[in-house]
Amino acid sequence: MYLGQKGIYSFHSLELKKANEKELSEILAACEKVESRVWCASENFYDYIKKQTALFYAKAGNEVVAFALFDVTLKDKTLIVAANECMVIPEHQGQGLPNIFVSILISHIRFERRLKSLKRCYENVVFLSLTVNFKMMSAFRKFSFLAQSSSFAPCDEVHAIAKEYLKVEGLVTIDGHPFFAKGAFPDSLKAAPKVVVPGFVPKEFDITRGDGLVYVCKTDSFLLLGLVAWLVQYRADFKFNLDLKKRFNLNRRVAAKEVIYS
C-alpha cells in the first residue's frame, strides 16, 4: 500500500499475514538486499519475517532503500508494539527514514483508536525496541519525558515487559543495568559506529560483543501520540497519500454510525 511521500522517497506498507505471495516475495527480496548491505544477520531473513506483523519500506525511485519490521500484540488492556528491525542503506542514512516509519505506525494506531471509538479493546500502548545504535539510544532518552514510564524511568510493568522479552530472547543483562543486554547482536555490525558513546551507557557495554539497549516505554495518551507523529511528519515534510485520508474520513463516519446505532 502506498502511504505517502517525502522528497525523493515514497513510503509503502504490507500487512505480512495478508499479503499475496508474489508481491511479498518481490518486496522481501529487496529488503533482504538492504539488510545484507548493513547487517550480518544471525537468523534467516524469511524465517524472521514470519514472526512479524507489518513491514514498512521506502523507495528512492524504483529501489528499496530502507525498511522496518514491527510486531503488534495485545496483552490484557495493553497494545505492545515491537520495533524489531530497521535498516537503511548507507547512501540514504541520515534522512530520518526510521523516524518516519515509526510516526506512520503511530498514526495508524491513532486512526484505529479513533475509528473504533468506544469499541477499542486497549487502554495503553507500549513500544519495545532492542537497539545497538547509540544515536537511537540518545533519541529514546531525550524523548522519554513524553511517556508515562520508560527504560530510563521504569515502572513495575515496564520492568516486567523487559524481563519477559529478555527471557524469550535468551539474553542476560549487564550487572546492575536491567535494560542493557549482553551479546544481543553477536557479530552483526558490518562496521563499528563512528559516534561518541553516550554517558548513560554502562562502562561494561561492549559494542564488539553486540550489546544492546532494551527500550520500553508506556503511554495512555493517544492525543500525545498523535502530536508526536504529526511533529515528526511535519518536520520531515512527509505528505500522506490523499486517498488514505479520504478513506479514513469515510470509515470514521461509518464507524461513528455503528457506535451510535449498535
Q: Are residues 93 and 153 in the same domain?
A: no
| Predicted pLDDT of residue 253 | 44
Q: What are phi and psi of 7, to 5 degrees?
A: 55, -125
Q: What is the mean pLDDT of residues 139-161?
A: 92
Q: Which grid coordinates are listed for 9?
A: 522517497
Q: Are residues 136 and 35 in the same domain?
A: no
Q: Are residues 196 and 139 in the same domain?
A: yes
In angstroms, rounded to a whole number, what is the distance separating the alpha carbons of residues 227 and 251? 22
Q: Are residues 184 and 208 in the same domain?
A: yes
Residue 256 lies in a domain: no
Q: What is the pLDDT of residues 222-236, one digit of tens each?
A: 778 888 888 889 999
pLDDT at 116 over 50: yes
In angstroms, rounded to a whole number, what is the distance separating the alpha carbons of residues 55 and 86? 10
Q: What's the mean pLDDT when you consider all of the chain?
A: 84
More confident residue, 112 or 83: 83
Q: What is the pTM of this model?
A: 0.82
Is the backbone of residue 39 left (phi > 0), alpha (psi -120 to 50) or beta? beta
Residue 250 lies in a domain: no
| Predicted pLDDT of residue 243 | 80
Q: What are phi and psi of 133, to 5 degrees?
A: -85, 115
Q: For residue 111, which of 242, 248, 203 has the smallest C-alpha distance?
A: 248
Q: Are residues 10 and 109 in the same domain?
A: yes
Which parts of the chain fold into alpha helices (H)?
21-38, 45-49, 97-116, 134-142, 156-169, 222-236, 242-261
| Predicted pLDDT of residue 141 | 92
Residue 261 lies in a domain: no
| Predicted pLDDT of residue 31 | 94
| Predicted pLDDT of residue 204 | 95
Q: Are residues 116 and 232 in the same domain?
A: yes
| Predicted pLDDT of residue 43 | 78
Residue 255 lies in a domain: no
Q: Are residues 115 and 235 in the same domain?
A: yes
C-beta of residue 85 within 8 angstroms of C-beta of residue 128:
no
Q: Are residues 199 and 235 in the same domain?
A: no
Residue with cell 500522506: 240
Q: Are residues 2 and 92 in the same domain?
A: yes
Residue 9 lies in a domain: yes
More confident residue, 45 or 204: 204
Burial of 191 (0-12, 13-18, 19+ CB in 10 A): exposed
Q: Are residues 67 and 136 in the same domain?
A: no
Q: Are residues 9 and 138 in the same domain?
A: no
In angstroms, rounded to a whole number, what is the distance separating the alpha carbons of residues 35 and 45? 9
Residue 71 lies in a domain: yes
More confident residue, 244 or 206: 206
Residue 259 lies in a domain: no
Looking at residue 102, which CATH number applies to its domain?
3.40.630.30
Q: What is the mean pLDDT of residues 131-147?
A: 88
Q: Are residues 109 and 143 in the same domain?
A: no
- What total number of domains does the chain contain? 2
Residue range(s) defining the domain that contains residue 152: 124-219
Q: Which grid coordinates are listed for 150?
A: 520508560
| Predicted pLDDT of residue 118 | 44
| Predicted pLDDT of residue 177 | 97
Residue 145's pLDDT band, with cuts at 50, 70 and 90, is: confident
